[in-house]
Amino acid sequence: MRGRPNLFTDYESEMALFPTTTKRVAVALLLIFALLVPLGAIPGLSFLQESSWLVLINRALVFAIAALGLNLLTGVAGQVSLGHSFFMAVGAYTAVLLGGAPGKTVWGLELPIWIWLPAAGIAAAIIGIIVAPTAVRVRGLYLAFVTLGLVFIGLHLWRNFGKVAGGPTTGRPWPPLEFALWKGDPIISFANDGPWFGVQLTSDAKTYFFLLVAVILFTLVAKNLMRTRIGRAWAAIRDRDIAAEIMGVNEVRGKTQAFAISSFYAGIAGALFAVILGRLIPETWDLLLAVEFIAIILIGGAGTIAGTLLGTFFVVLIPRIVEDITFFFADQVANQGPLAWLGDLFIRKSPDDILGFVSTGAAGPGLSIFQLNVALFGVLIIVFLIAEPLGLYGIWIRVRNYWKGWPFTY
């Protein structure tokens, strides 16, 4: 049967993690690529090694964990959740409560990472299990509103429990990313520059490796969940819950598992997100963050792992690219470069500029780059839903199928 890529003679080999040689090679190449990124060893892409890019990539890796969780809940199990930022916050505050330094106004136990990181996930999972029965009782879009309510209730809690969350405008510092057996000097620290196995690495690069391992682990778990009993039960519930019940799928158990596991992912991601940023205010965990994750799975392609990862990098890196392009054109306009006429169309130069709607000044009139990005999310969600409901993953499948049959149409 060699040389026939899509011929599977048994179920096992079809459901294998990497069913074809092409996939195995592609994943291996991707891994090598990922390992080389912080070393700046990739020709043409060595700028990714810079701190500003690496910080962004780290952020994307953390978001990938949360997005994988939301994908399991919304994409695979079909339970719409607008409350993902709430579960992330639960994880982040559990982490800081257990691992943070105590102060005059805040609580903290200064426990090591191997306690606070799993605890962050477990605490969020417990809250998820508490919420899950609602999902059994309240269906479809009504559930979306319940989870939306969670975000607002959560924001109220974080604003008011200063002992845990710090001041409403100042926040509090999170513990650094370092591994210690107990209190005292860390064995491995990801938070300071230094050599590893003879290679000089920045703290960003070390954090990158830590997060990369975490993402690979969580991706494998998600992939395995999807192709075993639990995942199949989720898909059945998504497609028609009552039909699933008739087939013997336990709906209550399935939905509870989905909420618990998705929240676990969110909790871990929330804790890591807070840790890599160092300090957060309670307003971080707002609706916009939750919508960002919805955007990630819709743009990437709901229900697919590859799509989720693609979507995460797309959504996280797009603001930076937009920023670079905007500043490039602002520079062109200011210095009358060859592309100034293009920049004139959208860069605002004076308050009564009719055409320009993007302003590069921090607080000037016009859309700031942040606002432009928010609006762009909206546009992207709409365009993808109307034009390509399977998202980036769907585009990739179409491109792949085209080249598979090339030069024939079929």
Query: Shortest Cβ distance from residue 382 to another protein (Å)?
Result: 4
In Å, how far are 226, 324, 344, 368, 379 from 319, measured between CA atoms? 31, 9, 21, 12, 13
Give Dmax (Cα) for the chain. 72
Separation between Cα atoms, residue 254 and residue 231, nearest integer Å: 9
137 interacts with another protein by CB under 8 A: yes
CA distance from start to end of the chain: 23
Strand pairing category for 279-280 and 172-173: antiparallel
140 interacts with another protein by CB under 8 A: yes
Q: Which of 240, 279, 400, 404 binds another protein (CB under 8 A)?
A: 240
Q: Mind giving me the DSSP string for 215-231?
A: HHHHHHHHHHHHTSHHH
Q: Is the peptide bond before 351 cis (omega within 30 degrees of 0)?
A: no
Query: Shortest Cβ distance from residue 158 to another protein (Å)?
Result: 10
72 interacts with another protein by CB under 8 A: no
Q: Strand ranges (DSSP E) for 308-397?
A: none
Query: Shortest Cβ distance from residue 277 to another protein (Å)?
Result: 23
Between 17 and 243, name the residue whose CB sits nearer to another protein: 243
Residues 6+ apart with CB under 8 A from 308: 64, 67, 68, 71, 75, 296, 297, 300, 301
Between 1 and 242, name the residue whose CB sits nearer to another protein: 242
Both tokens of residue 331? 């520079």
Count Cα neighbours of 303 within 13 Å in the Cβ-side half-sphere: 14
250 interacts with another protein by CB under 8 A: no
Which of 9-17, 98-106, 138-146, 206-214 is the region at the interface with another protein (rule: CB under 8 A)? 138-146
Q: Which of 7, 26, 35, 139 binds another protein (CB under 8 A)?
A: 139
Size of the site for another protein (CB under 8 A): 48
Between 143 and 214, name the residue whose CB sits nearer to another protein: 143
Query: Shortest Cβ distance from residue 377 to another protein (Å)?
Result: 6
Which of 186-194, 212-220, 258-266, 371-379 is the region at the interface with another protein (rule: CB under 8 A)? 371-379
Between 13 and 371, name the residue whose CB sits nearer to another protein: 371
Count Cα neighbours of 154 within 13 Å in the Cβ-side half-sphere: 28
326 and 360 in contact (C-beta within 8 Å)?
yes
Between 36 and 374, name the residue whose CB sits nearer to another protein: 374
Q: Which of 1, 199, 354, 363 binds another protein (CB under 8 A)?
A: 363
391 interacts with another protein by CB under 8 A: no
Q: Estimate the crossing angle of helix 203-226 against helix 229-239, to 10 degrees.
A: 70
Residues 6+ apart with CB under 8 A from 338: 332
Between 127 and 201, name the residue whose CB sits nearer to another protein: 127
Token pair 């008011």 in the structure block, residue: 160
Between 319 and 365, name the residue whose CB sits nearer to another protein: 365
Between 194 and 364, name the residue whose CB sits nearer to another protein: 364
Interacting residues toward another protein by CB under 8 A: 80, 134, 137-142, 144-146, 148-149, 152-153, 156-157, 159-161, 240-243, 246, 287, 291, 294-295, 298, 357, 363, 365-367, 371-372, 374-375, 377-382, 385-386, 389
